[in-house]
Amino acid sequence: MSILIKNGRIITASADYVADLYIEGETITAIGENLNKEADEVIDASGKLVFPGGIDPHVHLEMPFMGTFSSDSYETGTLAALHGGTTMVIDFILQTQGKSLRNALESWQGRSNGNCYGDYSFHMAVTDFNDETKKEVKEMIEKEGITSFKTFMAYKGALMIDDGQMIGLMKEVKEQGGMVTVHATNGDMIDTLIAKHKAEGKLSPLYHYLSQPEITEAEASGRFADMANYSGVPAYIVHMTCEGALNAIRRAGSRNQKVYAETCIQYLILDASLYEKDFEGAKWVMSPPLREKKDQAALWAGINQGLVQVVATDHCPFEWEKKLMGKDDFSKIPNGHPAVENRMELLFSEGVNKGKISLNKYVEVTSTNAAKIFGMFPRKGCIGIGSDADIVIFDPNEKHTISAKTHHMNVDYSGYEGWELKGKCKTIILRGQVAVENGNVRIDKGYGQFIKRSKVPQNV
Ligand code: URP
Ligand code: ZN
Ligand code: ZN
């Protein structure tokens, strides 16, 4: 199978030019002006932008959480991602406390194997670090190609580890060539505030937000950066939301330590005023919560200053019926919101079109940086000869409106209902196959592959 893409405006993290692209099998084999090649399929991309396929390194598909499962399966979640220009996701395996990493891996493989439309990988969340877990770190990296280890500084009793376990894990991951990532909020502070609000009868979604003030994230981000500095491990903070946390990594930078930071699309464009909508605010109950306008400004600036490398989603959808589990108690509302299908188009419309980020920065934060940080570059995250032909052909002028009635995510509401966007993913190619064209799916379930990742550079 070969594809010739004619006259597209190719945008990478560092270049912007009009050319033809030639794809043979799963890879890009030629780039140039007026390529004279026979192809099974020719796509005219005149007037369109051509991006590397999006990589969303923070999604939760079919994840057991807060007494239920996130509502997108590997099938529906990776297909929705493709519709929105994201050709690869990295999902999270959660170790069950008292059980092994291998046990968790097998259970996640049971749900994902053979069911994905798009490519995928896993981060391994270590929720119980002990002598047995320690032995499994090397095996995960070398045998399974799972090179990033997620930690939680919150969700005590289910997912949270203490600082002693954190240091132990960091040392072992450093030794074996991996990276430690973190949900950086102070779980004890949050639990105390939740208990206080409940005791006072303050039970609406607004109190989810008020139980996780900025300081809980700023403190944990600084502590995590300090522990990573002490152990020397490459470090990455997921879903960063606020100025205080950003300042913590800015301080780390001033001692020459690199702490990678990811924010998510919602933290750039939504704010905490949504929690004032009574129970409707449950649509945006997530952890950390939405913040203030001043935090949005800090995050956009952080992207342009190179402090924030990735814009992900933390896609973790729950149907409205599941959100209602917390009707009378905000602490029972399953945390998370749907966005994997919307990330690329929202960031283009709200970021590029509004002059907040350049086209090159757009590609960096939606694709290239994630591929580099998580050990997949240059196979993924770039348009270059020899790279996987993961391509988005994008119409920068097409207008459309987000709605749960038309989205492909398996959830009955959208946190962005009625938002009018300019810029649409038209053709999405995954490893040399047209996966989606004008909304029509052209691949089968199971085409998506598990991508083994490389060790992470340790020169931090
Ligand atoms: O609210 C969220 N973020 N739900 C998913 C789990 C997590 O903390 O990332
Ligand atoms: Zn989290
Ligand atoms: Zn998450």
Do 332 and 431 lie in a common domain?
Answer: no
Mean pLDDT over residues 338-360, rounded? 98
Do 324 and 269 lie in a common domain?
Answer: yes
Q: 373, 405, 430 — which closes off a domain?
A: 373
Q: Which of 284, 291, 316 to mutate to test the pocket of ligand 1 (most atoms within 8 A of CB)?
A: 316
Over the stretch 164-185, which tens digit does the pLDDT of each residue have?
999 999 999 999 999 999 999 9
Please check the confidence at residue 459 and state whether its pLDDT lies above 70: no
Residue 180 within a domain: yes
Residue 378 within a domain: no
Question: In which domain, by residue range, is 422 found?
Answer: 2-51+387-397+418-441
Do 242 and 311 lie in a common domain?
Answer: yes
Q: Distance, CA 239 to ligand 2 centroid (Å)?
A: 7
Return the CATH number at 181: 3.20.20.140
Mean pLDDT over residues 222-245, rounded? 98
Q: How confident is the model at residue 231 (pLDDT cuts 50, 70, 90)?
A: very high
Percent of the chain with pLDDT over 90: 99
pLDDT for the residue numbered 413? 98
Q: How far apart are CA 233 and CA 94, in angstroms?
A: 21
Query: Whose alpha carbon is nearest atom 1 of ligand 1?
Result: 286
Please check the confidence at residue 460 and state whether its pLDDT lies above 80: no
Do 34 and 157 lie in a common domain?
Answer: no
Tell me the backbone φ, ψ of residue 202, rounded to 5 degrees.
-95, 100
Tell me which ligand sits closest to the C-alpha of residue 314: 3
Q: Which long-range contacts (CB under 8 A, 24 or more apart) does 351-357 make?
A: 351/268, 351/300, 352/423, 353/422, 353/423, 356/300, 357/300, 357/303, 357/304
How many other CB atoms sit within 10 Å of the CB of residue 334? 23
**Three-state SS letters, 339-366:** CCCCHHHHHHHHHHCCCCCCHHHHHHHH
Torsion of CA 54, 57, 61, 64, to 10 degrees: -170
Do 308 and 437 lie in a common domain?
Answer: no
Please check the confidence at residue 425 and state whether its pLDDT lies above 80: yes
Q: What total number of domains does the chain contain?
A: 2
Q: Distance, CA 187 to ligand 2 centroid (Å)?
A: 11
Residue 71 within a domain: yes
Q: How far apart are CA 63 and CA 96, in angstroms?
A: 12
What would the two tokens of residue 186 be?
A: 């102070």
User: Is the shortest distance between the CB of 347 and ligand 1 below 6 Å?
Assistant: no
Return the CATH number at 47: 2.30.40.10
Tell me which ligand sits closest to the C-alpha of residue 286: 1
Residue 138 within a domain: yes
Do 36 and 116 lie in a common domain?
Answer: no
Do 59 and 21 lie in a common domain?
Answer: no
Do 212 and 331 lie in a common domain?
Answer: yes
User: Is the shortest distance between the CB of 335 and ligand 1 below 6 Å?
Assistant: yes
Q: How far apart are CA 381 and CA 54, in angstroms?
A: 7
Over the stretch 82-123, which tens digit does the pLDDT of each residue have?
999 999 999 999 999 999 999 999 999 999 999 999 999 999
Q: Which of 72, 266, 335 to mutate to test the pocket of ligand 1 (most atoms within 8 A of CB)?
A: 335
Q: How far apart are CA 425 and CA 434, in angstroms?
A: 13
Do 12 and 121 lie in a common domain?
Answer: no
pLDDT for the residue numbered 457? 79
Query: Whose alpha carbon is nearest atom 7 of ligand 1?
Result: 287
Of 298, 219, 229, 262, nearest to 92 by C-alpha is 262
Over the stretch 22-81, which tens digit does the pLDDT of each residue have?
999 999 999 999 999 999 999 999 999 999 999 999 999 999 999 999 999 999 999 999
Closest ligand 1 atom to residue 286 Cα is 1
pLDDT for the residue numbered 458? 79
CB under 8 Å to 57, separation ≥6 — which residues? Answer: 89, 90, 123, 262, 310, 312, 370, 373, 374
Residue 34 within a domain: yes
Of 342, 374, 382, nearest to 50 by C-alpha is 382
Do 369 and 393 lie in a common domain?
Answer: no
User: Is the shortest distance between the CB of 286 and ligand 1 below 6 Å?
Assistant: yes
Do 60 and 27 lie in a common domain?
Answer: no
Query: Whose alpha carbon is nearest atom 3 of ligand 1?
Result: 287
User: Over the chain, what is the mean pLDDT?
Assistant: 98
> Quick one: 88 exposed, middle or buried, by C-beta within 10 A (0-12, 13-18, 19+)?
buried
Mean pLDDT over residues 222-251, rounded? 98
Residue 182 within a domain: yes
Over the stretch 190-218, which tens digit does the pLDDT of each residue have?
999 999 999 999 999 999 999 999 999 99
User: Is the shortest distance between the CB of 185 and ligand 1 below 6 Å?
Assistant: no
Geometric angle at alpha carbon 381, from 376 and 385, rounded to 5°? 95
Give the length of the chain: 460
pLDDT for the residue numbered 25? 98
How far is the first Cα of the chain from the last one, in angstroms, to the nearest whole number?
42
DSSP, collapsed to helix, strand or coil, labels residue 92 as strand
Do 43 and 138 lie in a common domain?
Answer: no
Q: How confident is the model at residue 456 (pLDDT cuts 50, 70, 90)?
A: confident
Residue 304 within a domain: yes
pLDDT for the residue numbered 266? 99
Residue 238 within a domain: yes
**Three-state SS letters, 203-233:** CCCHHHHHCCCHHHHHHHHHHHHHHHHHHCC
